[in-house]
Structure formats: C-alpha cells, structure tokens
Amino acid sequence: MKFKCGLSLRWVVLSIGAPLLMASMLAVGADGADKKKTAETWVPKRLADGQPDIQGFWKTEHPNAYSLTNPRDGQDAKPEAKGPDAGKIPQRGLDGRIVAKTQKPSRIIDPINGQVPYQPWALARQQELYLNFENPKKPEYVETQMRCFPSGVSRQQWWNEVEIRQYPGVVFIISYASNRFIYLDDRLHIPVNVKQFMSDSRGHWEGNTLVVDVTNSNAKHRLSYEGDFSSDQVHITERFIFKDKNTFQYQATYQDPSVYTQPWTVSSKQNRVHGDDPSYEWYEYACHEGERNLDNYIPREGV
C-alpha cells in the first residue's frame, strides 16, 4: 500500500513537473531567448516627452582610442617606443589583417574577421599614419586628438566617459573634449556642403533602442591612434541598445564606398558609472585647438 501511494505521488509530481519543465525550456530556448526577452521588456522611467530616461555617466569596458582592433586600456594603450619593433608597423599586414596577437577582442563585429575593410589605397594611408604616429615629421601626422580636435561621434563613445543629458526632443552627449546634439524631431539634415567635426545627428526611439542617422562629417578626426579614418562622404547609423538601467550596447555601422570595400560595424559595451554619487561632476578639460603643450603628448625617440 505504501508502495502504491509512493508510486502515485511520484506520478503526480512527474505529471505536474514535466509540463512546467517543458514550458521553462521553451521560455529559455537554445539561444538564450529569456535574456533577449528580459532586455526587450525592460521598462525604463519615462521623461515628459516620452523618452526613456537614460541620463547619467557612462563608460565603455575598455576606454581608449588607441585601436579599433585591439582596444587596449590603461598603460597598455601607449605604443612601444623602444625595442626592435620601434618605428615599424606591428599591427596590420598588406591584407589588412592583424599580425600581432590582440590583447582584447576587436571592436569590429562585422565583418567577422574584425578588420576595417579598407580599399588598398586607404589601407596604405592608414599604415602611413600609424607609422608616423610616434614621431610625426609633418603636421598631417600629428594625431588629431593630440591636436585637441573634437573626437567624432564614435570615438567619443570609447575614448573615456560620456555624460548623457536629455531635453524635450533632444539627446545631448558630453565628453571631455566633444559635445553633440541628437535631435529627435522631424527636422532635415543640414545642407550637404556643411561639414562638422561631430557631424549632424537625427535620431528616433525604437523601444529601448535609440537609432541615430549621422551625416555631414568633415572627416578631420581619426577613429583611432592607429590612423583609422573615413572620408567626408561617410554615412553612419548608430544604435544605442539599452539592456537595462545600467547597461547599453553601442553600435555604429560605417558606409563609405570611397574608402571601404563594404559597410562595417563597430560595437562597444557601455556601463553606467557614478550612479551612487548624485553630486558627481567633471572637472574642466581645457584642451583646445591650437594647444601648445604638444611635447607632453607626443612620444619621443629614446623616451
């Protein structure tokens, strides 16, 4: 009798548990669909104009502008000025592939080889700029950030921290040396002959993703210390994909047939910082175009 009762109870547990287990498996899915569902169903606080509230300070996981394909941070970001490889091009071969082993995953997620798909002439130009990074002999070789030029829209997101502020119909992104407005209304882009360091941005919200159409770049900045660049004909589509209140994924797809063989996409995870300190604010970053203190910025031979 006890055996029968135990068998009956076991059967009841299995009959109830099996459907629950199956439902759980279907909810999770082989590709982690539960995480995707969590991101899609995150309900942010809304501002008066309906925007998700994303205000605050944000920082990428590997903050530095040294490389797209090897996003080193901290002291690793400084190129070696000594040793047998000083003055050489250690990063890319003639086919554009990285020769040296990378320290961090490439920021480039498309194409899958993690490389900027340069046309041959553009790859040669990028290598020329990188070769002359440490000891520039011409003004054109001086890295644009060292000249205190604004960073450009994507480099702003991974150089260091950014602050996001929001106003009715506007997202305002501030960094140490670059600021940009993303307008959310129906206004047209500025005339095509007007070019700007921080381009011209028009955005809209798709759920918790801010999609931004970027045009009118003057292409006077670089995308990295290694000399990565675009032309003033570049068209950039950005996506700020907010996973939750403390995390978003930044993605930017570059289209520029005059420089690249195909569109390519760069991605960078961004985390909220200083969230526990409502009084936090930046100190003034007084770098400006015409900066005279370049000797403290540019590495020298034998140093």
pLDDT tens for residues 185-231?
999 999 999 999 999 999 999 999 999 999 999 999 999 999 999 99
List the one residue out of 61, 122, 132, 56 whose CA is nearest residue 94: 122
Encode pLDDT of 26-43 as tens digits.
Answer: 344 444 444 455 456 789
The H or E element that residue 248 is part of is strand 247-255
With a cut of 60, say whether residue 164 has pLDDT above it. Answer: yes
Which contiguous run of DSSP H or E holds residue 215? strand 209-215
Would you state the pLDDT for residue 295?
59
Q: What would the pLDDT profile of 118-147 be if each residue is shown by its tens digit?
A: 999 999 999 999 999 888 899 899 888 888
As a whole number of angstroms, the distance between CA 130 and CA 224 comes to 10
pLDDT tens figures, 140-149: 998 888 888 8
Confidence bin at 298 (pLDDT 50/70/90)? low
**Alpha-carbon radius of gyration of the chain:** 24
Q: Is 183 helix (H, G, I), strand (E, B) or coil?
A: strand
- What is the rounded average pLDDT for all residues in the chain? 80
pTM: 0.76
Place of tokens 């209140």: 245
- Of 185, 157, 156, nearest to 50 by C-alpha is 185
Tokens describing residue 163? 């602050």
Assess whether pLDDT exceeds 80 at residue 301: no
Distance CA 93, CA 106 (A): 16
Residues 6+ apart with CB under 8 A from 255: 234, 235, 236, 237, 263
pLDDT (0 to 100) of residue 3:
38
Burial of residue 259 (CB within 10 Å: 0-12, 13-18, 19+) is buried
